[in-house]
Homo-oligomer: A and B are copies of this chain.
Amino acid sequence: MKNVTVVGAGLVGSLWSLYLAKRGYAVDVYERRPDPRKTGKAEGRSINLALSDRGWAALEKVGMAEAVRKEAIPMYRRVMHDVAGNLSFQPYGKENQAIYSVSRGGLNRLMVEAAEAHPHVNVHFGHACVDADVEGGTATFATEDGHVTSQGEAVFATDGAFSKVRAQFQRRDRFNYQQEYIDHGYKELHIPPGADGSHQIEREALHIWPRGKHMLIALPNPDGSFTCTLFFPMEGPMSFDALGTAEAAETFFAEHFGDALALMPDFQDQWRQNPVSSLVIIRCSPWNVGGKTVLFGDASHAIVPFYGQGMNSGFEDCRVFDELLDAHKDDFEAAFPVFSTQRKPHADAIAELAMRNFVEMRDLTAQPEFLLQKKIEAAFSAQYPGRWMPLYSQVTFSHIPYADALAAGKRQEAIMQTIMARPNIEETWNSQEVMDAILAQLH
């Protein structure tokens, strides 16, 4: 049995170790953090995640989907809150199509436990990667008892956006690398359950308070609470920097997010306790060194969270790589470079899509024209199912490669610009004439 190394027991590392074990490898997984079952501490960032079809498919293949589904809450639509507290709505897809709210910590624990339960997976907690021999396919870890070097034949680096393994790639000639921080950061806040333990706003929805340059969102938790996230500029006249005190922040919230603030009795304490975090986009290539080391998930393509595709794209990496190992009969030398070459354009595409969706969420969802455009697209798509799949559905409810979805989305947007420019589109949007006008532009 071939021995291989996985660096990082996060979401992607845990899942990939299950894939490897299923393929017949003996897997050593090394994780910086201590065993959460011994410390009782939650893992990493608490930001909620939105699982969608790409993620589910990857979980399904190693039999994990059912267990995860028990902890997930479907979100069927966006609920937009305006400044006065009025609501508007936008379904995510067709009836019964939803994205699923899951907590990062809970999901990670579930995945790690599944990995550990496998007889051929050995998870080593408290092993912080400090070095890697990327040409040799080994990594070295600092532990309480000194340094340990992995023994496997290859390293799968799933150690996240600040990957230590990738840092060794950066020392090599002709490794392209970019870390790009966006202007916005985020702070998490919490809406507790109501007195009766139920959700205080619509449960099976993703809530957005779109305010143009910034926004608040909320995702439901099983315990009746919501995890809220404020996305806000880090610097400038209206920014985390400028807000300063919790009192000033509360005044700001009262003005911009009054209905949400009313549900946060301990707002000022939360504001003081919860950190402001930054958001980074990572791009690099190649993702592999021969057949010895390969970067997965955030380690090779960290993106902003606005399309809910960070985890989903990392999980899809696993499914795609698994198919490549099938195609190449587990020849790492052959499969690793193909993975890097084939997958990279799709990672670039979802990075771009995620930034575009930030503008959509924080700004466009507040505009009636945008909501009308989405209604027209949905109507056309329902009438001519094979001819038009909305971009959001391609990304979220299909396995169409991201770069193909992005290209199709740009073609669709050009068509819809002509449709939205038609006189009286508000009245005629559902007419056969408008449907025909779209059809005429499809070739």
Contacts and interface: CB of A to CB of B under 8 A. Distances in A.
Contact of A179 (B177, B180, B278): B177
Contact of A174 (B170, B175, B177, B234): B234
Contacts of A181: 173-176
Interface in A371-416: none
A204 B237 CA distance: 55
Interface in A165-218: 170, 173-181
A234 B176 CA distance: 14
* A contact face: mostly helix, strand, loop, or mixed: strand
B175 A179 contact: yes
Interface residues of A, number: 12
A162 to B, nearest CB: 9
Integer count of this chain's copies in the complex: 2
Contacts of A175: 179, 181
Contacts of A234: 174
Contacts of A178: 177-180
Contacts of A174: 181, 234, 278
A250 to B, nearest CB: 26
A234 B286 CA distance: 15
A234 B174 CA distance: 10
A7 B177 CA distance: 24
B180 A176 contact: yes
Interface string A296-322: 000000000000000000000000000
Interface string A140-178: 000000000000000000000000000000100111111
Going nearest first, the 7 A-B pairs with the smallest beta carbon separation are A178-B178, A174-B181, A177-B179, A174-B278, A173-B278, A176-B180, A176-B181
Given A173-B278, A174-B278, 13 more contacts: A173-B181, A174-B181, A174-B234, A175-B179, A176-B179, A176-B180, A176-B181, A177-B177, A177-B178, A177-B179, A178-B178, A178-B179, A178-B180
